[in-house]
Structure 1
């Protein structure tokens, strides 16, 4: 028979279990959202292109494809360092693209370049000259993560400029002109290139959220089990029968 626990202990236990279950359920919902996001991302390259103005209106878990005409700015580019793909360290290369329609310029992520065994980068291929049509996904800029220090771009004098985070406002100020609020992830084309263009959403994968959910549900189970164990009445000693 269980002994009657203190009301405060019951309240605290129920509150803890409810909180852990709520956190676990939230992580499951986030995992479902990420699954939908990855599914939309995987199919985006096969979708027909839409005008840039329409792409700007499609927010949320969509990465619309655009075929944008314009020219690359050959004198300005940015290298996003500390990137990893398939276990290899390297950089992402962003070039400035000026749409023919006169819209604000965009940063085009031309792809990933891996460092060699000595940690050196290969020479960065320049963007093509003249009028171009860029096939790309219209996507949010990469997350900045934890930032230490201020904007280092103005202090660099050589191009391309290297950074460990990409802030579009800071890049626009560095260029002296406004930029679009999103970037273009260039899709693979017929040209031979050293860039790796295997795009993924810049977010936690669904598996990470399922792992967090499992942890929170485990905490709820541990709290419930601990409450039960601590409030069990000890079994009375068994009497020995005398013959």
Structure 2
């Protein structure tokens, strides 16, 4: 049986503090995993929910849900944006975003019209037609696609003709490019098999529930390791007399 020496007070204090911190971080990651799973469930439920009027959630959408809305207005078809190579499938392509002027509103609603595979030899695909006349749209009111660091700065400002293409679509840069404010979220249109666009929208999370749980396991392992190190370093190595 392993015998232990009394560890120094500072070693015991550091171990307890470190293990407590690691356990706290592990529990926090588990809570984040549960929150993300609930968020994904609400997103899935929203797809089949009844559509509500856009005006009710336009400026202040609920922070933890994704209302299905309907909005009437007109596309700005001369101001189309292409998000290059989104995480849709392994073939790549573009996600098509079109500003939409909602009746009676100054701000523009950015509409996610759907995904298109690349054209021949990887070229930009031909864009299926969208209504020129006033129309009513329905879909989920969701956060805009995530942004990141783009080498060379604002790609939209360097392009003079539409459709404009970029690997990120920053709402602030889009608003500046359009010369009009944007609503805080994007309208992801309902699926329509005759539209020509692939509309298989999913909620983009910075971290999945599974990854949160993996980090939780890592933090709990650190807590066990801290205790194990304290025990190993304070073993009594003296031989017991016969």
Judge same fold: TM > 0.5, yes or no: yes
Please tell me whether residue 122 in structure 1 is matched to residue 125 in structure 2: yes
Please tell me whether residue 177 in structure 1 is matched to residue 180 in structure 2: yes
When normalised by structure 1's length, the TM-score is 0.90
- Structure 1 regions of 5+ residues with no counterpart? none
Corresponding residue for 1:142?
145
Residues 138-196 of structure 1 show CA distances to partners (whole Å, capped at 9, x for unaligned) of 1111111234342221220121001121121211111111211111111113x513322
- Do the aligned partners of 1:84 and 1:90 also contact (CA within 8 Å) in 2? no
The secondary structure found in structure 2 opposite 1:68 is: strand
1:122, distance to aligned residue in structure 2 (A): 2.3
Quick one: distance in 1 between partners of 2:20 and 2:120?
51
RMSD: 1.9
Quick one: distance in 2 between partners of 1:88 and 1:216?
36
Corresponding residue for 1:216?
219
Quick one: distance in 1 between partners of 2:120 and 2:39?
35
Corresponding residue for 2:165?
162
The secondary structure found in structure 2 opposite 1:153 is: helix
Corresponding residue for 1:3?
5
Residues 91-119 of structure 1 show CA distances to partners (whole Å, capped at 9, x for unaligned) of 21101111123352111011122336943
Out of 85-94 and 166-175, give the one that drifted further: 85-94
Quick one: distance in 2 between partners of 1:223 and 1:112?
49
Q: Aligned to 1:106, which of 94, 101, 109?
A: 109
Please tell me whether residue 89 in structure 1 is matched to residue 92 in structure 2: yes
Quick one: distance in 1 between partners of 2:135 and 2:182?
19
Q: 1:103 to 1:138 in 2, by over 3 A?
A: farther
Quick one: distance in 2 between partners of 1:101 and 1:209?
43
Q: 1:172 to 1:47 in 2, by over 3 A?
A: same
1:237, distance to aligned residue in structure 2 (A): 5.6
- Do the aligned partners of 1:79 and 1:162 also contact (CA within 8 Å) in 2? yes
- Structure 2 regions of 5+ residues with no counterpart? none
Quick one: distance in 2 between partners of 1:47 and 1:124?
29
Residues 23-74 of structure 1 show CA distances to partners (whole Å, capped at 9, x for unaligned) of 1111111111101110010011211111222223342111000111111111
Q: 1:130 to 1:116 in 2, by over 3 A?
A: closer
- Do the aligned partners of 2:106 and 2:180 also contact (CA within 8 Å) in 1? no
When normalised by structure 2's length, the TM-score is 0.90
Residues 209-243 of structure 1 show CA distances to partners (whole Å, capped at 9, x for unaligned) of 1111111111111111121122121262674xxxx
Please tell me whether residue 200 in structure 1 is matched to residue 194 in structure 2: no
Corresponding residue for 1:64?
67
Quick one: distance in 1 between partners of 2:111 and 2:61?
19
Q: How many residues align?
A: 238
Quick one: distance in 1 between partners of 2:22 and 2:122?
44
Corresponding residue for 1:228?
231
